[in-house]
Structure 1
Amino acid sequence: MSTDAPKLSPVEKIKQDSEFLKGSIDTEMAADTDHFGKEDIQLLKFHGTYQQDDRDKRVELKKSGGGKAYSMMVRCRIPGGRITSDQMLAQLDLCDELGNSTLKITTRQTIQLHGVLKRDLRDTINRINEIELSTLAACGDVNRNIMCCPAKNADGVHQEMLQLTDALTEALAPQTPAYHELWITDPDTGEKTLQGGGPVVEPLYGPTYLPRKFKIGIALPEDNCIDIYTQDLGFLAVVRDAKVIGYNVLVGGGMGTTPALKRTYPALAKRMAFCTPDQAVDVAKAVIKVQRDHGNRADRKVARMKYLVDEWGVEKFRRSVEEYYGQPLKDCTEDDVTGFDDHMGWQDQGDGLWSYGLNIENGRIYDDEQRQLKSLMREICQTFGTELRMTGHQSIIVTDLQEQDKDRLIEIIQRHKVPTTEQTSTVRRWSIACVALPTCGLAITESERRLPSIIDGLEQPLAKLGLDKERFTVRMTGCPNGCARPYNADIALVGKAKDKYTLYVGGGWLGNRLGYIYKDLVPDADIVDEIVGIAAAFKANRNADESLGDFCDRVGKDDLAVLAAAAERP
């Protein structure tokens, strides 16, 4: 057998030769072109930006002999989704002045700007840093934005979780000075500033960083609102007597798959070990080091940590983590996920103040004739000036409101023609979608632009079935990469071919079970009818207190198809 080292993927060589993510980005920024070369495109992801083009314009531009309509997507790193009103106002200014006049709240509790031209990229990232946010490590083969329960709660438990979020963010951030050298300018001189000094070293990541992206989430057993089982690394708080005594550590979650390659698949994380709060940061570093040194660098399609965990088994993986950490870890406690709160509507913070969760459909903040979400956010920020928190369901929580502010907030929302959470149907409230067309280069089908009309078609039949208050998740993605976490949802639509979707069922709103393929290559025009059939079968055949996902999981694919065909539909 050959003892040669496996051939590395092309991206690994790009990282190796990049001088710690610097590459030739500066030279390309100075060039009179509207797009970057393929090597720097890979490096730019670590800096928080993707190169895209408007796919709606491709045919038209090709006919006229032109190229592509290039632009950049710029993503912030906002740990736990916490943002001040002033920061939100600045983001709204950026989207109007340098973007496409919309903001996108992501499924990882952060914000994306779309439509930023290459010539405006440095100004955009610099201005984001001026408001004390960052784009560093929002994308790329590093730990990305850390998710944490966004509830504003006066209890010490939520505060401890947020403290861990911040500690992990700082400890796991890339150390390369290339980010500041490329993007940050001195406000007095206008000169680019190189922070730090001495040799360029990445003590955690090394010169080639991780084999693939890495995601972390922190949750409570009774509130899995960040989908902890979909994370590469999850910390599930173990609470005793209103205090976090430690965390059950979960490893190996990940949603992306390539259906044509059987070696790829979505996976839920596995329970590995227990750690105390003061061990958590170093345990996270140990997990990352295991993935750094043993993850697959030859084939990026199987480079996520879930494949290493599955190949080794969780016990071998744990032993390796303990070796890097330096001592054994205790076994997990019995604590596991039991609930999910989307934090919408009014919630008592426990300190005499209130929070209000406002559903933002698919996370898109915009103004048009029908509704003025962007203007609404401006008035909320200017009127109340409080902290905002973004949820894993792409919505926003307005925090620290006085009792007397309640009616005023609702009046502002309604004046901007935006439905309140109380006016939003349950099925719409529990739905999310990725961006997909026209800007995502991986999208096969529509997602964000299509899901609202699908929900429109579902609302009346669900009401007639008496299921309008039934909670189940509907998630839609334009490709199998799974950015909207479809594979553990009650119902999911995943783009498979032009105007055709794979329909998954049998996951659940709790997030701890994968669904199965119910039907493949479902035409777009048949989606609503297929889901209504599932709902009708559920209504007629469910057990007491059984959720839709539990029902689909119990009856299985073949029986579900029979029951759906026989069920009386409204």
Structure 2
Amino acid sequence: MSNQDYKPNSKHDPAAKFADNERLKTESQHLRGTIETDLGDQLTGGFTKDNFQLIRFHGMYQQDDRDIRAERAKQKLEPLHNVMLRARMPGGIIKPEQWLAIDKFAEDKTSYGSIRLTTRQTFQFHGVLKPHIKEMHLTLHDVGIDSIATAGDVNRNVLCTTNPVESELHQEAYEWAAKISEHLLPKTRAYLEIWLNGERKDSTDLEPILGSTYLPRKFKTTVTIPPNNEVDVHANDLNFVAIAEEGKLVGFNVLVGGGLAMTHGDVNTYPRRADDFGFIPLEHTLAVAEHVVSVQRDWGNRVNRKNAKTKYTLDAFGIDAFKEEVENRAGVKFAPSRPFEFTHRGDRFGWVEGIDGKHHLTLFLQSGRILDYPDKPLKTGCRKIAEIHKGDFRMTANQNLIIAGVAEEDKAQIEQIAREHGLIDDTHTEQRKSSMACVAMPTCPLAMAEAERYLPDLVEKTEALLAKHEVPNDDIILRVVGCPNGCGRAMLAEVGLVGKGPGKYNVYLGGNREGTRVPKLYLENVGEETYLPALDELIGQWAAERNEQECFGDFVIRKGIVAEVKVSKTDFHA
């Protein structure tokens, strides 16, 4: 790739040196690199520098167990390298037979034995050692699953609102999520050749959408059915908001430029809401998806990866210029947006009945971790349900699981299994259900502080504060993450804790229930001894002084405890 690939009136310095990831992609032979050679190297459990990055395009991250890293170093051993795999599951739908296959692999061939549901509406394996990596891909392929493009500088797993009640509308939306996912996939045969024993063929590996060096940075897409914003549209580069008439999907409002990642101490990085470009009828969906991607491909910053996401491209070139370029390339004009409203973004737990007469059971799974615990054999319970279930499973963007499409006569048996294995726990409070964490320690190499392992304790302490101020049945959207890269979507929470160091967090306040407002920094680099008393005081004020039905995030904005973030570029760090 050359600097000529930038738009002529680019805001980026045409003489600046490209980020090293651009060299890596250029030299990768369309994402092949020397991954196969590394696989055969038994002297190390890891991958070499370039391949360390390239395996991400194949859906994997190299990690190690940070809990034992220091001890292994004392023994003069390299870190216990392994990979985390994230599957590609557009819309989060998985069949029972697929579930049984991933359950068995997790049990037999991973270091942790767990299945981890993610905020990207899919599952992850953690702790897969090098000798089992190829077997993992073949196992998934045998049941119709892959991990193509779930990481790296590409469009990742496409999310879709899990709406089992309005079954016909959800089916249409899900089908579009699957079509968008397929349309934007890399065309290279590298995944097939390396992991599935595909024959190497002479091919130009043309990438008409992603380009020869793929995108400047990761790209995330959703399909959303209002009024539920469970996929958090403002965390994503491209969002298709379903517009229905008489229960039938007629088109989408297109929202572009959301994203939550930032860098501590860098005021040029910030979380950002997506902008509404307007309405398109269904027949233009793939063309618009393609050309939002192609404009970002050509205009995105390939010099500074910290400013390479779509949100920064919009702010650099202007929303109108970006939108006009998409219209010109797609041959489509955006119509004025159709009215829609988000009213909530949580999952509806327990049983609901769809308009088709089928029943659907949503299970709360704290942090999405499915494992057999001494008092709650969650993984065994899910397996037993999969062995008898005639419908499908739906993974939500809030790390929970829906047992979908249950006939009336099968409800009692499935509920009994769920209760016997702790998958239904009536003691869970609304606060626990409204809290979320990323993985963080011990596996994520970017984590600066605990998140998933800290969440249960943090929730208990928050529950105690709510009870102290006589609002035990109320809840606050609470999210804790180990670093500022956005995985747990803390930057759309009413209270967001972002890891800064061991036991230390930046505390952000002021998101809302609907997920349409970015919170603002309230406390910086503090521990429990500082932020829990602060939350105690604020929850007390909220309980005593709030308006009727006023959520915590709206309250702290109204009272001026933090300023509202309206335009992230100017307001977030102000």
Which range, TM-score by smaller chain? over 0.9
Q: Which runs of 5+ in 1 are unaligned?
A: 185-191, 561-570
SS at match of 2:116: strand
| Counterpart among 387, 394, 406 of residue 389 in structure 1 | 394
Q: Please report how far the alpha carbon of residue 365 of structure 1 lies from its aligned counterpart in structure 2 after TM superposition.
A: 0.5
1:211-230 to structure 2, matched below 5 A, reads 211-230=216-235
1:335 matches 2:340: yes
* Distance in 1 (alpha carbons) for counterparts of 2:436 and 2:353: 25
Q: Shift of residue 196 of structure 1?
A: 7.2
Deviates more, 1:519-528 or 1:323-332: 519-528
1:424-447 deviation digits (Å, cap 9, x = unpaired): 210110111100011111000000
- Which of 395, 418, 442 is residue 446 of structure 2 equivalent to? 442
Mapped contact 2:557–2:563 kept (Cα < 8 A): no
| Mapped contact 1:345–1:358 kept (Cα < 8 A) | yes
Q: Percent sequence identity over matched residues? A: 36
Report the alpha carbon displacement of residue 484 of structure 1 after superposing the two structures with TM: 0.6
Q: Which residue matches 2:105?
A: 94
**Paired residues, number:** 552
Residue pairs, 1:419-568, within 5 angstroms: 419-420=424-425, 422-557=426-561
Of 314-323 and 174-183, deviating more is: 314-323
Q: Does 1:193 align with 2:198?
A: yes
Structure 2 unaligned spans of 5+: 1-10, 565-574
- Number of the residue aligned with 1:30: 40
Structure 2 residue aligned with 1:47: 58
* 1:83 aligned to which of 74, 86, 94: 94
Cα offset for 1:155?
Answer: 4.1
How far residue 102 of structure 1 moved from its aligned partner, in angstroms, is 0.7
Aligned AA for 2:147?
Answer: T
- 1:271 matched to 2:276? The reply is yes
The structural deviation recorded for 1:31 is 1.3
CA-CA distance at 1:505 after TM superposition: 1.1
Equivalent position to 2:354, from 318, 341, 349: 349
- CA gap of 1:147–1:247, structure 2 versus 1, over 3 A, is same
Mapped to 2, the partners of 1:387 and 1:527 lie a distance apart of 42
Structure 1 position 126, deviation (Å) = 1.5
Whether the 8 Å contact between 1:393 and 1:430 is mirrored in structure 2 is: no
Matched, 1:144 2:144: no
1:46-445 aligned within 5 A:
46-99=57-110, 100-184=112-196, 192-194=197-199, 198-420=203-425, 422-445=426-449
Q: Distance in 2 between matches of 1:265 and 1:85?
A: 40
Answer yes or no: is the 8 Å Cα contact 1:454–1:527 preserved in 2. Answer: no
Q: How does the TM-score come out when normalised to structure 1?
A: 0.93
The 8 Å contact of residues 227 and 340 in structure 2, kept in 1 or not, is answered as no
Deviations 1:514-545 (A, max 9, x none): 11111112213544443333221110110112
Asked if 2 retains the 8 angstrom alpha-carbon contact of 1:236 and 1:336, the reply is: no
Q: What TM-score, normalized by structure 2, do the two folds share? A: 0.93
> SS at 2:334's partner residue?
coil
Native 8 Å contact 1:356 1:397 kept in 2: yes
Are the aligned partners of 2:390 and 2:405 in contact in 1 as well (CA < 8 Å)? Answer: no
| CA distance 1:91–1:526, change in 2 (3 Å) | farther
CA positional deviation for 1:199: 2.4
Q: Does the residue aligned with 1:423 lie in a helix, a strand or coil? A: coil
Segment of structure 1 superposing worse, 525-534 or 4-13:
525-534
Moved runs in structure 1, 4+ residues, more than 6 A? none
Structure 1 residue 508 displacement after superposition = 1.4
Structure 1 residue 413, shift from structure 2 partner = 2.1
Q: Distance in 1 between matches of 2:132 and 2:435?
A: 33
Deviations 1:481-519 (A, max 9, x none): 110111111111110122101111110121100111111
Q: Secondary structure at the match of 2:492?
A: coil
1:187 alignment counterpart? none
Give the deviation of 1:154 after TM superposition.
4.8
Change over 3 Å in CA distance of 1:340–1:498 after alignment to 2:
closer
The corresponding residue for 2:21 is 11
Structure 2 SS opposite 1:509: coil
> 8 Å contact 1:343–1:397 — kept in the other structure?
no
Letter of the 1:149 partner, please give it.
T
Secondary structure of 2:296's counterpart equals helix
SS of the counterpart of 2:249? Answer: strand
